Amino acid sequence: MSEIIDCPSPNFDDRSLPVSILVLHYTGMQDAASAISWLINPTSKVSCHYVVAEDGQVLRLVEEEKRAWHAGRSKWRGITDVNSASIGIEIVNPGHEWGYRPFPEAQMTALTPLVAEIVRTFDIAPANVVGHSDVAPARKQDPGELFDWERLARLGLALPRPGRSLADPHWTDGGFLLALDRFGYDVADGPAAVRAFQRRWRPEAIDGVIDGQCRAILLSLLLDRERGHAR
């Protein structure tokens, strides 16, 4: 891993849970400098553990043992204080508001070993390497549908998208949301939860409509977990 530059943020406090989740974000601001100055500004009340710039430079804002303020009001697999239970990485990208664009190779090359190191340090399950939109579906879209989850999955750092020849279980929409809740999503806002699921698992069609492919992917994810293929 290349050298990490310390850029301390005052926006943190103490954890009340052990680390079991890694949350990936995009910065969603016009450029890296404005994002970083916001994340270290005491009045913003937001921060993260690491920022990964588009050129691959990694900054450390909050020590891993501390609770950074990146997830906000969130929920994942029953945990509602996601900040206490997670490490947060902000990946520099203007985001949907300022011109969402692919994550450059240099950035992904820097991000991947950082994720690997964190996953190894805290023994984070691949199913708990998630996007901000997964833990706050009604509020967030980051890191978004252009993020290359498969690249992390190939290294065993995140769950892969289930393969072909999946059977549609023909759940009702209510049944799908129950299954989504079982997988870990907050389904209080059903359509938002469906869109978050699609953004992560079927990014080519984020329409909020539950179809056979969505049902089949979710069934496969749940079966893999029950069979012990995925944590």
* Active-site amino acid positions: 90
Q: Figure out which of the listed residues 12, 21, 25, 214 binds Zn ion, where binding follows CB under 5 A.
A: 25
Peptide bond into 162 cis (omega under 30): no
Smallest separation (angstroms) from Zn ion to the CB of 138:
13
Binding to Zn ion (CB under 5 A) within 119-178 occurs at: 132, 142
* 129 DSSP β-pair partners: 22
Smallest separation (angstroms) from Zn ion to the CB of 40:
16
- Map residues 63-102 to x or -, x wherever contact with Zn ion holds by CB under 5 A: ----------------------------------------
Q: What does the alpha-carbon distance between residue 206 and residue 204 come to, in Å, rounded to a whole number?
A: 7
Question: How far is C-alpha 194 from the geometric centre of its chain's CA atoms?
Answer: 15
Smallest separation (angstroms) from Zn ion to the CB of 18:
22
The smaller minimum CB distance to Zn ion, of residues 72 and 169, is found at 72
Smallest separation (angstroms) from Zn ion to the CB of 194:
19
* 79 DSSP β-pair partners: 76
Q: What does the alpha-carbon distance between residue 7 and residue 9 come to, in Å, rounded to a whole number?
A: 7
Which tokens go with 100? 């969402």
Q: What share of the chain is helix, strand, coil (3-state, %, to 5)?
A: 35, 15, 50
The smaller minimum CB distance to Zn ion, of residues 83 and 220, is found at 83
C-beta neighbour count of 171 within 10 angstroms: 18
Which tokens go with 170? 């023909």
Among 45, 58, 63, CA closest to 8: 63
Q: Is 49 in the site for Zn ion (CB under 5 A)?
A: no
The smaller minimum CB distance to Zn ion, of residues 54 and 142, is found at 142
The smaller minimum CB distance to Zn ion, of residues 67 and 132, is found at 132
The smaller minimum CB distance to Zn ion, of residues 70 and 215, is found at 70
Q: One-letter amino acid identity for 94?
A: P
Q: What does the alpha-carbon distance between residue 132 and residue 139 come to, in Å, rounded to a whole number?
A: 9
Smallest separation (angstroms) from Zn ion to the CB of 25:
3
Binding residues for Zn ion (CB under 5 A): 25, 132, 142
